[in-house]
Amino acid sequence: MKNQQNARHDAHDTLMCYSMHTLFFIQLPLHAMKQYKDMLLQQLQFVDQEWSRFHESNELACINQQMIGQTRTISPLLYACLQQAHTYYVQTAGAFSPYLKQAMCTHGYNQTFPFTKATVTQQTLPIQQTPFIFLPSYRLQRVGIGEIDLGGFAKGFIIERLAMYLQQNGVTEGMIDGGGDIRVWSSGQKTWKLAVANPYDQHKPPLTTITLQNGAVATSNRIYRSWHQGDVVKHHLLDGRTGEVCQSDIIQATVVTARLTDAEVATKLCFLQQPLPFTTKVATYIVKAKQQAQWQLKGAQL
């Protein structure tokens, strides 16, 4: 994590820092920022170090190196994150999967962005299976092959946790933005206005804007994190059931829900054209090539 920066904005303070290869932007009331700035930085630094699949000796790497039959006690926060990701894995019948590290590497995503070309490998995609079971007392047992890549889910999880913690401790309003995946809350005084970026060019005017007081917005895009592996264009959105790159005419999916982890998983399911099983209140904004996008609202009365 690097480059932390503070700036005052109205009656709020803002904090910017890098974690998980992403720019985080946090906006809180002045007094809350003063009180929680250090905790926020520590937490983001911790997950940056311990949860990345690109580090060879962190806690996630140790889990991935477990042998079949071996049990390991892991940190409670990572256990909670993995367990929640696994719950989505079960709820979506494997369409969303946190166990795609080997498939990602086979497709050439074995380095951090930005990159445009990946070497062609002779590896075949591993058969997707459930590699771990969750035991009491934060223990994880390997029962099959497969390695964890939390990807954007880790970001959504930690943002959700931090937002929840701040709310529970009386911080009346705030925004945590991890690379465009945004969680906002308000006690009613503050209404947040958020824009959905143009998928082709961030500097062009946004496609649409929304206002909300409490909620989460996540966006996935198959153009930005894409690369050539030989003559084949690949991107980072994989089908958890097969490990194959998702084939879709969707360019960008934006989802608004109550929880950022729901929104994060929902964007992947939009690309896979799978139903969203975990909430009845969802707004989606799907951008397809040469089509006018529109908000689709489910469970809402507007």
240: which 2 tokens? 């958890």
**Residue 199 binds another protein (CB under 8 A):** yes
Q: Which of 164, 232, 233, 277 binds another protein (CB under 8 A)?
A: 164
Q: Which of 140, 175, 266, 272 binds another protein (CB under 8 A)?
A: 175
Half-sphere exposure of 125 (CA within 13 A, CB side): 16
**Residue 259 binds another protein (CB under 8 A):** yes
**Residue 189 binds another protein (CB under 8 A):** no
**Residue 11 binds another protein (CB under 8 A):** no
**Residue 243 binds another protein (CB under 8 A):** no
234 close to 108: Cβ distance less than 8 angstroms:
yes
- How does strand 226-229 pair with strand 117-118? parallel
| 61-80 residues near another protein, rule: CB under 8 A | 75-77, 79-80
Sole window of 90-98, 104-112, 203-211, 269-277 interacting with another protein (rule: CB under 8 A)? 203-211
Sole window of 19-27, 54-62, 66-74, 98-106 interacting with another protein (rule: CB under 8 A)? 19-27
Residues 6+ apart with CB under 8 A from 10: none
CB 18, min distance to another protein, A: 13
204: which 2 tokens? 């062009």
Q: Which of 64, 97, 128, 252 binds another protein (CB under 8 A)?
A: 252
Sole window of 48-56, 62-70, 97-105, 253-261 interacting with another protein (rule: CB under 8 A)? 253-261
**Residue 18 binds another protein (CB under 8 A):** no
Sole window of 48-56, 95-103, 216-224, 242-250 interacting with another protein (rule: CB under 8 A)? 216-224
Tokens 């060879």 identify what position? Answer: 56
**Residue 110 binds another protein (CB under 8 A):** no
CB 126, min distance to another protein, A: 25
**Residue 196 binds another protein (CB under 8 A):** yes
Residue 215 CA, chain-centre distance (Å), reads: 15
Which residues in this chain contact another protein in the complex, by CB under 8 A?
A: 22, 25, 27, 39, 43, 75-77, 79-80, 83-84, 152, 161-162, 164-165, 167-168, 175, 177, 179-182, 185, 191-197, 199, 202, 206, 208-215, 217-221, 223-225, 252, 254, 256-259, 281, 283, 295, 299-302
